[in-house]
């Protein structure tokens, strides 16, 4: 009986991982939100946020988890002159957060201060599911969250690690630890 239960749980785990790997998030369709929240830590994320800001599909952007030593001028130099306009008026650098959970907390405080009700969440495709989970947990149902994933070519190791982080985080919340 224990062997069958173990085999069944391993099969569920493997099927869950396969499903996780083949159903990665995609970029969002056109649409407008009050804000954009970009989670740092991967290529293309800030660029995607600037693209959405430049298209006029949000009022303001928060780059959550930015290194405190990074300035707007540094980012404009890196991103090019097209990024200068949004960075002059409408981009905030959040240096309070260090992980996905604290990104959600930082963004929640920022959204509340500005009285925003909807946000476009930008992160990599393999990270989106856990980011959405944390943001939904922290912000609740009173906020609209539009997932906008930056496509990547994740390695097996990246997917495996992220799947396990998601499972462990959900288990920690379920067990209240």
- State how many domains the chain has: 1
Residue 177 lies in a domain: no
- 114 part of a folded domain: yes
pLDDT tens track for 59-77: 999 999 999 999 999 999 9
Q: Is 109 a member of any domain?
A: yes
Q: Is residue 5 part of a domain?
A: no
- Alpha helix (H) ranges present in the chain? 2-22, 45-54, 72-79, 84-89, 100-114, 128-139, 156-174
* pLDDT tens digit sequence for 122-175: 999 999 999 999 999 999 999 999 999 999 999 999 999 999 999 999 999 999
pLDDT digits (tens, 9 = 90+) for 85-122: 899 899 999 999 999 999 999 999 999 999 999 999 99
The conformation of residue 27, written as its DSSP 8-state character, comes to P
Instruction: Report the Cα 46 to chain-centroid distance in Å.
Output: 11
Can you give the residue range of the structural domain that contains 109? 25-153
Domain assignment present for 6: no
List strands edge to edge, sheet with 60-64.
91-94, 60-64, 35-39, 118-124, 144-150
């Amino acid at each position: 009986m224990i062997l069958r239960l173990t085999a069944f749980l391993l099969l569920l785990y493997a099927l869950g991982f396969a499903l996780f790997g083949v159903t990665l998030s995609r970029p969002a369709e056109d649409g407008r939100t009050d804000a954009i929240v970009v989670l740092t830590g991967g290529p293309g994320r800030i660029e995607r946020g600037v693209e959405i800001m430049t298209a006029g599909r949000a009022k303001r952007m928060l780059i959550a988890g930015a290194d405190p030593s990074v300035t707007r001028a540094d980012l404009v130099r890196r991103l090019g002159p097209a990024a200068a306009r949004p960075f002059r008026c409408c981009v905030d650098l959040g240096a309070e957060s260090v992980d996905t959970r604290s990104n959600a907390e930082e963004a929640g405080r920022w959204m509340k201060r500005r009285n925003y009700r909807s946000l476009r969440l930008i992160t990599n495709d393999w990270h989106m599911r856990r980011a959405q989970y944390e943001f939904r947990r922290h912000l609740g149902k009173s906020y609209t969250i539009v997932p906008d994933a930056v496509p990547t070519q994740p390695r097996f190791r990246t997917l495996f690690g992220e799947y396990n982080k998601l499972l462990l985080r959900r288990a920690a919340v379920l067990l209240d630890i």
